[in-house]
Structure 1
């Protein structure tokens, strides 16, 4: 098994929805929603890639670091690599339906369990999607974080209670799903959340709260002040609002403002171990990866997801040796290219 073979198979199984490009950069699939592309012109998806590309690493080899430690700790749980499976749903509409929601959730959860990292499950307009992720967490025993869309406060609390029963280690809200027209048109409320509402949710759930979709210092501070334990700097993979900034462009200021108050995670365009190291060097404690795991699943199932995660881990390990980085608390300096 190699990555080119996995991509080739995925391209066949996702025909018409994803090209499984050599580099998943949002250019070929711009505007393809349903599908795996970015919304509108696709510029927000592309901006994520461009933002990561602007950062440079220093090559260092005159040192004694031969076996860097790539393990991390999230909410007291040790994970073998600082890479987390992002919440992904909507396989029929966005990936063609070769895999069902249940099949993908189970294989992704099993892969994360075997690799020793965190699995995040998602939510969508289909009411069956959220329970599928909970079932995967319960059946596999993976370290899991289910995410709800920004529904009513009452609905979110109910979903958090279900997550607790399934054995989740934390609970998240995709706050950047506030304008999802498909959900609104199907009669399901989604909308922005005020600081007061976030506090109400925090006070009424028995799990640490993660807010995904934070792109400004102002909202990162609101999340911290409201009692959330973590944020994910994210523009939803460029799928909700056209022409946003790339996540690597806004991450440093957010970490500077709230990094000592709240756990900061990030997603958006991360494709390799070098990309992971850049994001960690910009202050993130771990990263989320979405689309490549979906491609892997369609190109070889659980084994291909594990292959990809191991590939990223090996790339990170190598990059840490070549930058003189002994562990994730001593990440190298990065420099912004002109």
Structure 2
């Protein structure tokens, strides 16, 4: 790969707003058309793809295997029809909602995603600052390319720390201590990555991190694995195999529950039986997720499993939906299926690549407009009312 993330960042939108000519010109530069600001989150994908080197685009866009689950996430959401209510007198609905006991501007958190300096030189601090300005939580990945304390310092909004279970239990404890000390507002443990899914785009391209992008929160002893490009081998997979502990158990989750008083979320739940068991351990929320189609290729779509998980846990824990959310309508669909909120992933990477902090903020502002429209059109005064809407599958 010949173009570094810092070079990529210099060609992106930078500090301009979504309505500026600079955003439109990113698209116009490749099409020759007049400036057109993004009017959907998908527009940010077009901008990002035009900006990023192919290997980095494939890393963020791809799934595992033949990408069956990646495709299924979108198809399942598209099959969810929401039955609108009429004559409700709603003129301008509120979009705020409570997540983990704290009121947020939207029932949305920015999902944990690794190595954000691949997309823009400002990386995680830019995306965290955009989330904070938009009034939603930012979830910081263990595999962040910026240290925890620097990300916390960049935003006034809540930061949740996402934990991958590592072979070194002492390092897990150290990460927890650092998250507590830095002021993280919640802890999210990801449980669906005993090993990294076989992501064929990365394997075919021999994807590796450029030298300037590191796993800033982990010791550098094995970091060379992530930076060593080999044909037919994903360096990211080699690195995680060396660092991650594949045999995470319910006893480990119970240890984690005892170790922190922060609100605890478990991400990677699909089977309702696992959701019930997580509630029994004492977690505060479960995230119905298949890792955006990047782990087991053959897992069901999250929108398919969400109603079963909600029914299984009742009001014992909050239930969030992850994987495939691309619009305010998708947020409404998730609410109508019983979720208390969603995690928004890839669209935020697209927006970061296209415009740094301002691009990410513009994407969240656009999502808020879409959600408000969806609430108005379905007769809901707020997201809580959307959870009482009926849904149909198949249109």
TM-score, with normalisation over the residues of structure 1?
0.87
Query: Could you tell me whether the CA contact under 8 Å between 2:320 and 2:343 is conserved in 1?
Result: yes
- The 2-side partners of 1:310 and 1:184 are apart by 34
Which residue of structure 1 aligns with residue 316 of structure 2?
261
**CA 1:39–1:310: 2 relative to 1, 3 Å:** same
- Of 98, 120, 126, which aligns to 1:99? 120
**CA 1:131–1:158: 2 relative to 1, 3 Å:** farther
CA RMSD of aligned residues (A): 2.0
Which residue of structure 2 aligns with residue 302 of structure 1?
357
Farther-moved stretch of structure 1 (176-185 vs 108-117) = 176-185
Residue 209 (structure 1) aligned with residue 247 (structure 2): no
**What's the offset of the Cα at 1:174?**
1.3
Which residue of structure 2 aligns with residue 28 of structure 1?
none
Residue 85 (structure 1) aligned with residue 110 (structure 2): yes
Query: Could you tell me whether the CA contact under 8 Å between 1:113 and 1:141 is conserved in 2?
Result: yes
- Of 53, 56, 64, which aligns to 1:15? 53
- Of 132, 135, 138, which aligns to 1:116? 135
| SS of residue paired to 1:249 | helix
| Rg larger in structure | 2
- Of 126, 137, 151, which aligns to 1:136? 151
Q: Runs of 5+ in structure 2 lacking a partner?
A: 1-18, 20-36, 197-236
Q: Runs of 5+ in structure 1 lacking a partner?
A: 20-31
Residue 55 (structure 1) aligned with residue 80 (structure 2): yes
**What's the offset of the Cα at 1:259?**
3.2
Residue 156 (structure 1) aligned with residue 172 (structure 2): yes
- Of 98, 102, 105, which aligns to 1:73? 98
Which residue of structure 1 aligns with residue 161 of structure 2?
146
Residue 277 (structure 1) aligned with residue 315 (structure 2): no
Residue 36 (structure 1) aligned with residue 91 (structure 2): no
- The 2-side partners of 1:168 and 1:256 are apart by 30
**What's the offset of the Cα at 1:15?**
3.0
Matching of residues 184-223 of structure 1 within 5 Å: 184-185=240-241, 187-223=242-278
Which residue of structure 1 aligns with residue 186 of structure 2?
170
Which residue of structure 1 aligns with residue 347 of structure 2?
292
- The 2-side partners of 1:53 and 1:6 are apart by 20
| SS of residue paired to 1:140 | coil
**What's the offset of the Cα at 1:289?**
0.7
TM-score, with normalisation over the residues of structure 2?
0.75
**CA 1:108–1:131: 2 relative to 1, 3 Å:** closer
- Structure 1's consecutive aligned runs of 4 or more residues displaced over 3 angstroms after TM superposition are 4-9, 152-155
